[in-house]
Structure 1
Amino acid sequence: LINIILCATTIFAQEQKTELQKQQQEIVKLNQKLNNQQAVINQQKTELANLSATTENQQKQIDSLKTATSQNEQNIQAIANDLGTKIKQTETAAKDGISKLDKDVNTNRLYWIIATLATLLLGGVLYWLLGKRIATSKTDVETQIKNTKKSLEEESIKLDSKLIEVLDTQLKLKQEEKKVVSTTSTADVDHSLALKVADEIVRIHKNLQQMDVNTKGLKQLSASVKRIQDNFASNGYELVEMLGKEYNEGMKVIANFITSEDIETGKQIITRIIKPQVNYKNEMIQSAQIEVSVGE
């Protein structure tokens, strides 16, 4: 009986040792996977840096366009001033001509009338041509600005989409890390990544509201934001919606107050979210920073 017990004990110990070795191999595989994901994240950070450089170049082009627009406005103003001087000179010449016509009505009346009419006609034609040129130049500048704005919005959407992908990847890695660490550690949860994700979600939502609905990539970015919000919620986090709601003194927020004529007197409405309130498992881990409009 003792021999049987010893054999059973030995077999059980070997099985436990085998199971432990399998778990260690799984942990090694997970660590390799984490290292691979970190390499991907570093590559995406490099791509974001390149995109930021592209955005700076776009901003320089906008500044150059603004400078060109300002120069065009100065040139147009100079032309207008010159035309005004010529018109005044024409009027002066016409008055002088009328005075001379009074002295020699019989011989020169017809010629001076013709000259005056021709001068006024020429001035009108010049004024019309200049106005047309000014309108055309203004339209071209507005078109350039509009196209540049559209290009910048599309570039911003691309950058935000890349950022959403990076944050989504980091959230997934964080979730995998929790699964590995939770079995061996009881350390406090690090919320820094979640808070960063929350701030970026609020910022992107604000940008989306200011863009044209027909902007290229807008729908895809909205879908990506919705996806990362779902991932955000699945990790136990909640973004508290405050925009457009009435403010009360009991709220645990940092509030900046501004007066507004568009709100009913005495009302206090939250009109801007600077930093959102974030809850984790129904407990607040970040208080909101908001802007409240007070009706006059």
Structure 2
Amino acid sequence: MKKQVIIALIFFNYFGAFAQETKAVDFQKEIQPLKEKIHSLQSENNDLKIEISSINSKVATVNQKLEALDQKAQSNASDIQKTNSDLNGKLTNSETATNQKFTKVDNSLSKNSLWSIIGILGAIIVSGLLYWLVSKRQSTDKTDVEAQISKTKKTLEEEGVKLDTKLTEVLETQLKLVQEERARLPANKLEEIDHSLALKVADEIVRLNKNLSNMDINIKGLKQLSASVKRIEDNFAANGYDIPEILNKPFDSRMKMIVANSVPDEKLKDGEEIITKIIKPQVNFKGVMIQSAQVEVSVG
């Protein structure tokens, strides 16, 4: 009986120990992850401590720099205050000196203002007088120049009239000689007549009439020249020649004449053409054209 009891106790002790060992193994398995977690946390904690230590070091450095900047700012504020004080003193002195100068100038102006005004008025009066004298002199000089030009022009025109009068006398004489010579020619020789002199006379008649139309009627000798030109025209016609009047007449392209130049004219209507200048006149002999006109035409 005792052996059975002892065996039973041994058996229970063995199974109890086995059970406890099994529980210990299970516990170790359960606690192992916790240990690893704790180890990881400790490692992270150490890293954090290191990082915090680095941050604290940087913060300390920043604090040192801030303190240095604060000291520099205080020093600058002191310098600014000193400079401001100096400037205020200089401005005060400058204002005092300026006021003194203004007072001095004001006193000087008060004493000399009357003389200055008198001097300015005097200068204005003298300038006006000089301007009036110069303007009058210029006007007189201009009048004298214009009078001289007019006198010179009149003299030249009078000389031109004298020369043209002598020319008309020569042309008149030549036309009379031509007329007498042709009167002696037989009828069958009339076709061989030389018209060169007549054409020159025609050119001179046109030129003389143009000059007469542009001259002052008071020019000395103008009436005598007009009479001479009229006699030449009569002799010219007596020899069988005539100059058709085409100046200021409408131009037609079918006309037998040479257009030397065409000039635009806004006063004319669109497409209108007028003969405004005769360069060479048209000359007819006994109704037959022996020289075509050379003209300038104004075109609208």
Q: Shorter chain as normaliser: what TM range?
A: 0.5 to 0.7
Find the counterpart in structure 1 of residue 11 from structure 2.
Answer: none
> Residue 197 in 1 paired to residue 207 in 2?
no
* Separation of aligned partners in 1, 2:106 and 2:200: 86
* Separation of aligned partners in 2, 1:156 and 1:239: 24
Find the counterpart in structure 2 of residue 209 from structure 1.
Answer: 213
Change (3 A) 1:233 1:102: farther
Structure 2 segments unaligned to the other structure (5+ residues): 1-103
Structure 1 segments unaligned to the other structure (5+ residues): 1-99
Give the structure-1-normalised TM-score: 0.63
* Separation of aligned partners in 2, 1:208 and 1:165: 17
Structure 1 outlier segments of 4+, above 4 Å: 100-103, 183-187
Shift of 1:176: 1.4
Q: CA deviation digits over 1:19-40, x for unaligned, max 9?
A: xxxxxxxxxxxxxxxxxxxxxx
Match among 129, 132, 137 for residue 136 of structure 2: 132
Match among 258, 265, 274 for residue 263 of structure 2: 258
Does structure 2 retain, via aligned residues, the 8 Å contact 1:257–1:292?
yes
* Greater Rg by CA: 2
Match among 266, 274, 281 for residue 279 of structure 2: 274
Q: CA deviation digits over 1:160-184, x for unaligned, max 9?
A: 1110000000000111112234379
Does structure 2 retain, via aligned residues, the 8 Å contact 1:269–1:294?
yes
Paired-residue identity, %: 59
Change (3 A) 1:183 1:272: closer
Find the counterpart in structure 1 of residue 30 from structure 2.
Answer: none
Match among 166, 170, 187 for residue 166 of structure 1: 170
Find the counterpart in structure 1 of residue 53 from structure 2.
Answer: none
Letter in 1 for 2:274: I
Match among 152, 156, 160 for residue 152 of structure 1: 156
Q: CA deviation digits over 1:37-63, x for unaligned, max 9?
A: xxxxxxxxxxxxxxxxxxxxxxxxxxx
* Separation of aligned partners in 2, 1:101 and 1:179: 109
Q: How many residues align?
A: 196
Change (3 A) 1:103 1:227: farther
Change (3 A) 1:280 1:129: same
Secondary structure of 2:115 counterpart: helix
Shift of 1:107: 1.6
Change (3 A) 1:234 1:103: farther
Letter in 2 for 1:221: L
Q: CA deviation digits over 1:141-169, x for unaligned, max 9?
A: 01100111111111111111110000000
Map 1:235-246; keep pairs closer than 5 Å: 235-246=239-250
Match among 216, 219, 226 for residue 222 of structure 1: 226
* Separation of aligned partners in 1, 2:120 and 2:106: 14
* Separation of aligned partners in 2, 1:248 and 1:103: 91
RMSD (Å) for aligned C-alpha atoms: 1.8
Letter in 2 for 1:237: Y
Letter in 1 for 2:193: V
